[in-house]
Structure 1
C-alpha cells in the first residue's frame, strides 16, 4: 500500500502564480533509523509520483500560513484525502502524511 504526503507550497518561486497550492505525492521507505528505545523506524522519501495535482488556495504566498494550512486541509478533504500527520515546515513548503478517505 503506498504512502502519501501532502505538500502545501508557500514560496512564490515554487508556485505558478502568487498563491499557495497543495498537492499529494506518493512516498516510499528509503531507509530506517533507530528510536531512543532501539526500535526500527522507517524513513520515507517522496517518489515524485503525483497522486493529486496542485490545487491553488486563496491565500497568497506572503499571506498568513495558518490560513493557508486551514484551507489546505479543506481542499484535501474535498478531494478525498484525510490528513493523518501534523504539518511539518520545510524551506519552501509544509508537508503532512495523508491517506485516501
Structure 2
C-alpha cells in the first residue's frame, strides 16, 4: 500500500513537473510573440515618424514654391492681367498708324492742289 502511495506521489510529481514545464514553455512563447509585436509596433511608430518628417518637408517645399510663384506673378503678371497693357499698346499703335495715315492723306491732298 505504501508502495502504491509512493507510485501515485511520483506520478503526480511528474505530472506537476510536466505541467510546470509546459507553463514555462507557453510563457516563453507568449513573451517572444509580445516581443515581435513590440518590435512591429516600434517599427510602425518609426515609419509614422518618417512619414511625418516627409510631410513636413513637403509642406515646407510647397510653401517655398508658392512664395516663388507669387514673386514671379508680381514680376511677370499672368496672361489675364498682361492682356490689358497689350490691349492698351495695340490701341495706341492703331491710333498712331491711323494718325500717320491721316497725315499722309492730308499731305497727298495738299500736294494735289
Scaled to the shorter chain, the TM-score interval is under 0.3
Answer with 1 or 2: which has the greater Rg: 2
Query: TM (normalized to structure 1)?
Result: 0.18
More strand by share: 1
Query: TM (normalized to structure 2)?
Result: 0.17
More helix by share: 2
Q: Which structure has more RCO (C-alpha within 8 Å, separation ≥ 6)?
A: 1
